[in-house]
Amino acid sequence: MPSFLKNPKVIVGAIVVLWVAYVISNNLEKSVDFRLLPFNILTLQLRVSAVVVASALFGALATIVVQFLWRRRSRNAVSSAPVPSSSTAQ
């Protein structure tokens, strides 16, 4: 057995991927009703697989954006330190 298969990250990642595949495959034809306005004025009907995929995409994109903003903020905090000026001006 290769050593990377013994890594807990690989094991947990494989379990998550298998679970997501199971959820999507068992719910391909089922649909969910979203009631956007009261009294059934406006309802949106989506398949469960579409909701799962959209949630995964949103989570991935939100994570990337937050990491980008966090890194940009930390770079600006480091570069905003005052630069010592020399007093040689006459």
- Checking if the pLDDT of 21 tops 60, the result is yes
- pTM of this structure: 0.54
Q: Which one-letter DSSP state was computed for residue 27?
A: T
In sequence order, the 6+-apart residues with CB closer than 8 A to the CB of 9 are none
Q: Where are the beta strands (DSSP E) in the chain?
A: 31-35, 43-47
**Residue 80 has what pLDDT?**
52
Q: What pLDDT score does 86 carry?
A: 61
